[in-house]
Amino acid sequence: MTSLDPRIAWSDEHLAVIDKPAGLLSHAAPGNAGPNLVDALGDLIGGGDDPDRPGIVHRLDKDTSGLLVVARTPEAHAALSRMIAAREVSREYEALVEGCPPSRTGKIDAPLGRDHRSPERVIVGGRRPRPAVTHFEVRERLTRDASLDVRLETGRTHQIRAHLLAIGHPVAGDPQYGTAGRYGLERQFLHSRRLAFVHPITGEAVAIESPLPEDLSTALALARAA
Report whether pLDDT(2) > 60. Answer: no
Report whether pLDDT(1) > 50. Answer: no
Report whether pLDDT(217) > 80. Answer: yes
Q: Which domain holds residue 185?
A: 7-225
* 85-133: pLDDT as tens digits: 999 999 999 999 999 999 999 999 999 999 999 999 999 999 999 999 9
d(CA 174, CA 179): 6
CA 142 to each of CA 60, 97, 215: distance values in angstroms, whole numbers, following the listed order:
27, 10, 18
Percent of residues, the chain, with pLDDT higher than 70? 98
Domain annotation covers residue 107? yes
Q: Residue 34's pLDDT band (boundaries 50, 70, 90)?
A: confident
d(CA 114, CA 17): 30
**Residue 53 belongs to domain with CATH number:** 3.30.2350.10
Domain annotation covers residue 145? yes
Taking CB atoms within 8 Å and a gap of at least 24, the contacts of 35-42 are: 35/4, 37/6, 37/70, 40/4, 40/5, 40/6, 41/6, 41/16, 41/70
DSSP for residue 213: P
Domain annotation covers residue 95? yes
Beta strands in 34-170, from DSSP E residues, in sequence order = 65-71, 90-98, 105-109, 112-114, 122-124, 127-130, 133-141, 145-152
Domain annotation covers residue 203? yes
* 157-210: pLDDT as tens digits: 999 999 999 999 999 999 999 999 999 999 999 999 999 999 999 999 999 999
Residue partners of 104: CB distance under 8 A and separation at least 6: 137, 138
Domain annotation covers residue 2? no
Q: Residue 30's pLDDT band (boundaries 50, 70, 90)?
A: low
Domain annotation covers residue 218? yes
Beta strand pairing call for 65-71 and 190-198: parallel
DSSP for residue 26: S
| Burial of 184: CB neighbours in 10 Å, binned 0-12, 13-18, 19+ | exposed
Is 109 annotated as catalytic?
A: no
Number of domains in the chain: 1
Domain annotation covers residue 169? yes
Q: Given the residues 5, 12, 61, 109, select the one marked as catalytic.
A: 61
Domain annotation covers residue 1? no
